[in-house]
Amino acid sequence: MYLKGLSPEITAEQRETEVNILHISDLHFGTRHWEGNDETLLKKLNSYSPDLVVNTGDNTSDSLESEYKDAAQFLNGIDCEQVISIAGNHDKRNMHSHEYFKKYISHSERILPLNPERTDKKYLYLQRDITRLDDHFTDLNYIELINIGSTTVLIICLDSTVLYEDEGYVEKEILKSFSQKIKQLKYDKSLLLIHHSILTMDKEPLRSSFYVTDFVRKHQVKDVFCGHTHRLDLQKSSDLYLKNSFTQYMVGTLSSSNRMGNDNQFLYLENWGTAEMQIHVIKIFLNDGVMTFTEELI
Ligand SMILES: [Fe+2]
């Protein structure tokens, strides 16, 4: 029994681990990369000491190997053990794109479709008889299971991109494979990374968003992170019938805009997934080569 006014002692195991996330997107190394100073940007990112960094695609401008190398060098400069990146439409522009992504950005084992013969995503497989590639499967889907303190976080990395195209499409057979794997895993919290928005329509939308929202609800994923539009858009979606809800964090580009007054940005989620969560929007302005940062708390 505890005396009135005194709380029971909470052990380290019982105490919820504080998880702080940086969300970055659309780095666009190559032709579309900004003229800002990447070292100054890295210093700013590292000043937050995040537990997890999620990077939601468009690492490159044209999927060139040199651009992938530059993106990897930048990402390696982030002072965090867990930097998880996915591909965007600009990262899938040629027949080597998926190979470069695997070589420079993520070496994790990919999720393959359970029934390849039932897939209908365009260019999901390249023609073996006319290319000299080792790997003819172009999708870049994978799962990361990471521990932050006593919290195990499941990160679903879903490839919404279609080779050569800007619009998105998620293969249903891949979602089935994800579901099968997720059922076997134990975790405390989950989040989904996808380049295209699953809630809002832009001029290059995700055509199969219905399947993805269904998947998110089925697995009780509470947080979805995306990029693509280069705009900030934070939305909560509630299903009145199924009685569940999730939040989608869409962040603008980190480092591609050089226009006066047009901001680059990133998000910092302090105490992610708790009642105490605070969302910081950090904007980066570049005027005549001088970088300045502003921070809003929402
Ligand atoms: Fe982009």
Dist. CA 122 → ligand 1 center (Å)? 21
Dist. CA 256 → ligand 1 center (Å)? 8
Dist. CA 252 → ligand 1 center (Å)? 9
pTM here is 0.93
Could you please state the CATH topology (level 3) that the domain comprising 21-297 is classified under.
Answer: Purple Acid Phosphatase; chain A, domain 2 (3.60.21)
pLDDT at 232: 96
Dist. CA 29 → ligand 1 center (Å)? 10
Dist. CA 91 → ligand 1 center (Å)? 9
Dist. CA 166 → ligand 1 center (Å)? 10
pLDDT tens for the chain, residues 1 to 298: 334 444 445 454 445 689 999 999 999 999 999 999 999 999 999 999 999 999 999 999 999 999 999 999 999 999 999 999 999 999 999 999 999 999 999 999 999 999 999 999 999 999 988 888 989 999 999 999 999 999 999 999 999 999 999 999 999 999 999 999 999 999 999 999 999 999 988 899 999 999 999 999 999 999 999 999 999 999 999 999 988 899 999 999 999 977 766 679 999 999 999 999 999 999 999 888 789 999 999 9
Dist. CA 265 → ligand 1 center (Å)? 13
Dist. CA 227 → ligand 1 center (Å)? 7
Write down the domain spans for the chain: 21-297
Dist. CA 151 → ligand 1 center (Å)? 32
Dist. CA 98 → ligand 1 center (Å)? 17
Do 11 and 266 touch, CB atoms closer than 8 A? no
Dist. CA 62 → ligand 1 center (Å)? 11
Dist. CA 60 → ligand 1 center (Å)? 8
Dist. CA 27 → ligand 1 center (Å)? 7
pLDDT at 5: 43
pLDDT at 48: 97
Dist. CA 245 → ligand 1 center (Å)? 27
Dist. CA 102 → ligand 1 center (Å)? 19
Dist. CA 197 → ligand 1 center (Å)? 12
C-alpha pair distances (Å), 108 with each of 89, 101, 268: 20, 11, 25
Dist. CA 295 → ligand 1 center (Å)? 22
Dist. CA 187 → ligand 1 center (Å)? 31
Dist. CA 192 → ligand 1 center (Å)? 18
Closest CA to 146 of 175, 183, 185, 195: 185
Dist. CA 115 → ligand 1 center (Å)? 31
Q: What is the 3-state secondary structure (H, E, C) of the chain?
A: CCCCCCCCCCCCCCCCCCCCEEEECCCCECCCCCCCCHHHHHHHHHCCCCCEEEECCCCECCCCHHHHHHHHHHHHCCCCCCEEECCCHHHCCCCCHHHHHHHHHCCCCECCCCCHHHCCCCCCECCCCCCCCCCCECCCCEEEEEEECCEEEEEEEECCCCCCCCCECCCHHHHHHHHHHHHCCCCCEEEEEECCCCCCCCCCCECCHHHHHHHHHHCCCCEEEECCCCCCEEEEEEECCCCEEEEEEECCCCCCCCCCCCCEEEEEEECCCCCCCEEEEEEEEEECCEEEEEEEEC
